[in-house]
Amino acid sequence: MSKKIELTKAMQEHMIGLIQQYFKKERGEDLGDLAALLMLDFFVEKMAPEFYNIGVFDAYRYMGDCVEDMLGIQKYSK
């Protein structure tokens, strides 16, 4: 079950701006909207799934810890 990561128009525009700012600051280059969009598409397609998977694993580990903690609230009769 592979779903494509979709960005809203506002998110896309914001991220394009961030990419353009980065290139201007770090490389002294003016990056056009199309070039920034293509770069964003590459990041979303090739890299975002890896970051997503890291988040899923972190959530899995966190939930596992929470479930383990639940055992500590058990009540035993004497």
Length of the chain in residues, anyone? 78
Q: Exposed, middle or buried, 36 (CB in 10 Å: 0-12/13-18/19+)? A: buried
Torsion over CA of 21, 26, 30 and 35, rounded to 10 degrees? -80
Query: pLDDT tens for residues 32-76?
Result: 999 999 999 999 999 998 999 999 999 999 998 888 777 777 777
pLDDT score, position 2: 62
pLDDT score, position 1: 55
pLDDT score, position 20: 98
